[in-house]
Amino acid sequence: MEKIELIAPCHFGLEAVLKRELQDLGYEISCVEDGRITFYGDMAAIPRANIFLRTAERILLKVGSFRATTFEELFQGTKNIPWENYIPKDGKFWVTKASSIKSKLFSPSDIQSIMKKAMVERMKQSYHVEWFPEDQAEYPVRVFLYKDEVCVGIDTSGTSLHKRGYRQLTSKAPLTETLAAALIMLTPWNKSRILVDPFCGSGTFPIEAAMMAANIAPGMNRNFTAEAWTNLIPKKSWYEAVNEANDLIEDDIDVDIQGYDIDGAVVKSARENAREAGVDHLIHFQERPVGALNHPKKYGFLITNPPYGERLEDRENLPALYSQIGEAYKRLDSWSAYIITSYEDIEKYMGRKADKNRKIYNGMLKTYYYQFLGPKPPRREAGIN
């Protein structure tokens, strides 16, 4: 099959997690950059990547790259891309997003407008028509400019991949599903170890963990833009990817994943989201404050996204709240704690310095992923390392 290049954007700082996922799927990495990874595959890689990847934001089919410091160079570079190889005569095409960093061309709207004109000119010549109906399948184009290098891709995903389809109800400040999955994958947690989220909100951490434990592919219950690209990807490729995902599911496993929240209505929403994801039987949700957190099991994992106090009126409550988190953690014998927060006094209340600390942007907000590592379990507790 013909080799193509695909681009997988991800959260800044989490490229290594996505790289490992892509290699596990059997794909060769061609380039790792801040916030995105380019890899080789064939057209069947588009369904597989969309359905299986937990930490990618979307999958783009790379169609060209060139240097441009003027709008004329941008026009000619875009026009030189063989758009007729990808977009049929009746396809709908537009530049849905343009981003520019350290480049002479920086106006997104101008970049989008000029590229659309260049695409039309190229396709007029290729299809020998003066007008395009644009009433069939959608081919949304995304372009990145970095230091005057232009990278062009067609978005195969449509709605961002963090929208798995299970989260109908959300709490006040939810993590995206892709970020939650990546944060879990940065820990040594596996399905033989207990995982507790005492601020579970809409249930994202427990649900993503349960989907990993049961080997449920994150994209199984949603649609993708490229499903309509029958000129490029046979329908059979999508069916094969879904069948592959179905064959890998093991949801009759014995796991201990728990989610708590002080708000009963939020807990009810989390249960509903877990039901939508098909993992409600694998998670124990309960209305419970963090101050009541305790557990007899050893070597567990506390993975959570507590309140940050971004609103001024909430900030004064943070010392008391984080003090409760610290006290609860001290009661958890031999546990590890992984906490994402922008609250910088957390180490004071945890009573120790974090073993590791990683800066991560949660949306536009700079946060830190504090990692307090507990001891490793003895080897005789087989399979839990």
Q: pLDDT tens across 353-378, in order?
A: 999 999 998 878 889 999 999 999 98
Q: What is the CATH number of domain 177-214+255-372?
A: 3.40.50.150
Q: What pLDDT is recorded for position 144? A: 97
Q: What pLDDT is recorded for position 64? A: 98
Question: Residues of the chain whose pLDDT is less than 50?
Answer: 382, 385
Q: What pLDDT is recorded for position 382? A: 47
Place of tokens 């790259």: 65
- Is the CB of residue 269 less than 8 Å from the CB of residue 169? yes
* Intervals of CATH 3.30.2130.30 along the chain: 4-155
For the chain, report the end-to-end CA distance as a whole number of angstroms: 39
Q: What pLDDT is recorded for position 187? A: 97
Q: What pLDDT is recorded for position 361? A: 84
Q: Shortest CA distance to 176 belongs to which of 351, 372, 364, 371?
A: 364
* Intervals of CATH 3.40.50.150 along the chain: 177-214+255-372
Q: What is the CATH number of domain 4-155?
A: 3.30.2130.30
Tokens of 75: 């026009």
- Compute how many other C-beta atoms are within 10 angstroms of the C-beta atom of residue 19: 18
Q: Could you give the CA distance from residue 87 to residue 168 in angstroms, rounded to a whole number?
A: 33
Q: What is the pTM of this model?
A: 0.94
Sheet arrangement for strand 356-362: 283-287, 257-261, 195-197, 301-304, 336-341, 365-372, 356-362
Q: Which residues contact 133 (CB under 8 A, 6 or more apart)?
A: 90
- Is the CB of residue 200 less than 8 Å from the CB of residue 240? no
Q: What pLDDT is recorded for position 358? A: 94
